[in-house]
């Protein structure tokens, strides 16, 4: 075990159909997949840098052959597999308790059937979380949630995403990324008070300390598209602030961080898709090397185990959208 401070790495294994669905593309119903391309490429980069991120898996994918193979490969590589909902709809805060239990349970069954242990961690699509969801996680024996992004730019990111979004996406496009009020959410681990229970940890996706702007892969690629030098300086600044202020960063990745436009047809709307594949892989490699230079990089579950029980406690009623 290293004496360096800990940072964590996670991957939301969102698939091509999920992006197209959110964008309102009716072709999503064919369930097109880029997992056979993305997963081997990601695992190769992770192996080169000796990191084992937590991978949040969508149940509807894990039930399919290519998704089950992806879960098996991820597990064989020593990565934790966690729950990313079954249908990847960014409005779980509107679901009934019965529907939440169905989402969680179906995904748990698919993950276990694919050869991974029953998940103990959860992340909601579009950073969707609610007090009912947290209560469901507690009752089902989860140890942590990772559904919060403490930033003020949710409405701006939503507006950017929705430009050109087709009308068929109206049921979910207004649910993405939360409201400005999330800037007040903690940027470090804490515990939720769910009734009398205070054992469920929350590990936020880290944003730039003080400025509270995102630093995860899609935002870096957005900057990289404008200026590769700017993207690297931005990320290096975020790590310096984390170290100076004692923030143990939790960095989020997506498959699109290693996929070019030809690998993900129909996703021209997504930030960074004009960046060539080779540049994306090189940027991810640099990010992992830079992170590993300053921190010991682990998965999200291990991050919380290393850090011990967080002192701060927040009431689950604050988990609704736009807090």
Mean pLDDT of the chain: 91
Percentage helix, strand, coil for the chain under 3-state DSSP, each rounded to 5: 50, 15, 35
Positive/negative CA dihedral, 51, 295, 15, 68? positive
Burial class (CB within 10 angstroms; exposed 0-12, middle 13-18, buried 19+) of 289: exposed
Domain positions in the chain: 6-315
> Is the pLDDT reported for residue 242 higher than 60?
yes
Positive/negative CA dihedral, 207, 180, 321, 317? positive
Cα distance between residue 133 and residue 129, in whole Å: 6
Q: Model confidence at 75, in pLDDT bands (50, 70, 90)?
A: very high
Q: For position 170, what pLDDT does the model report?
A: 43
| Cα separation values, 224 from 31, 217, 231, 272, 289, Å | 30, 10, 5, 8, 17
In the predicted model, what is the mean pLDDT of residues 114-120?
Answer: 98
Q: For position 180, what pLDDT does the model report?
A: 63
CA 252-276-173 angle, 5° bins: 50
CATH topology of domain 6-315: TIM Barrel (3.20.20)
Neighbouring residues of 104: CB distance < 8 A, sequence distance ≥ 6: 83, 85, 86, 122, 136, 137, 140
In the predicted model, what is the mean pLDDT of residues 5-26?
Answer: 95
> Is the pLDDT reported for residue 163 higher than 60?
no
């Amino acid at each position: 075990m290293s004496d360096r401070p800990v940072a964590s790495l996670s991957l939301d294994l969102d698939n091509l159909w999920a992006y197209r669905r959110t964008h309102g593309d009716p072709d999503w119903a064919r369930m097109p997949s880029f997992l056979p391309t993305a997963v081997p490429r990601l695992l190769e980069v992770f192996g080169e840098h000796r990191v084992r991120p937590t991978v949040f898996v969508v149940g509807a994918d894990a039930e399919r052959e290519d998704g089950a193979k992806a879960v098996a490969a991820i597990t064989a590589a020593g990565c934790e597999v966690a729950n990313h909902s079954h249908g990847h709809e960014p409005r779980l805060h509107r679901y009934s308790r019965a529907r939440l239990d169905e989402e969680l349970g179906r995904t748990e069954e698919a993950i276990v059937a694919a050869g991974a242990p029953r998940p103990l961690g959860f992340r909601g699509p579009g950073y969707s979380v609610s007090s009912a969801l947290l209560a469901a996680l507690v009752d089902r024996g989860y140890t942590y949630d990772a559904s919060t992004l403490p930033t003020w730019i949710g409405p701006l990111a939503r507006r950017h995403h929705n430009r050109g979004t087709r009308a068929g996406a109206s049921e979910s496009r207004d649910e993405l990324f939360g409201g400005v009020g999330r800037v007040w959410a903690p940027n470090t681990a804490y515990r939720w008070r769910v009734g009398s229970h205070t054992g469920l940890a929350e590990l936020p996706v880290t944003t730039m300390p003080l400025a509270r702007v995102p630093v995860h892969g899609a935002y870096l690629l957005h900057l990289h598209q404008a200026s590769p030098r700017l993207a690297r300086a931005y990320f290096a600044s975020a790590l310096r602030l984390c170290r100076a202020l004692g923030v143990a960063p939790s960095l989020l990745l997506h498959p699109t961080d290693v996929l070019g436009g030809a690998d993900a047809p129909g996703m021209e709307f997504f930030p960074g898709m004009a960046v060539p594949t080779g540049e994306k892989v090189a940027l991810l490699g640099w990010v992992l090397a830079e992170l590993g230079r300053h921190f010991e990089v682990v998965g999200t579950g291990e991050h919380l185990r290393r850090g011990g029980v967080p002192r701060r406690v927040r009431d689950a009623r604050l988990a609704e959208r736009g807090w």
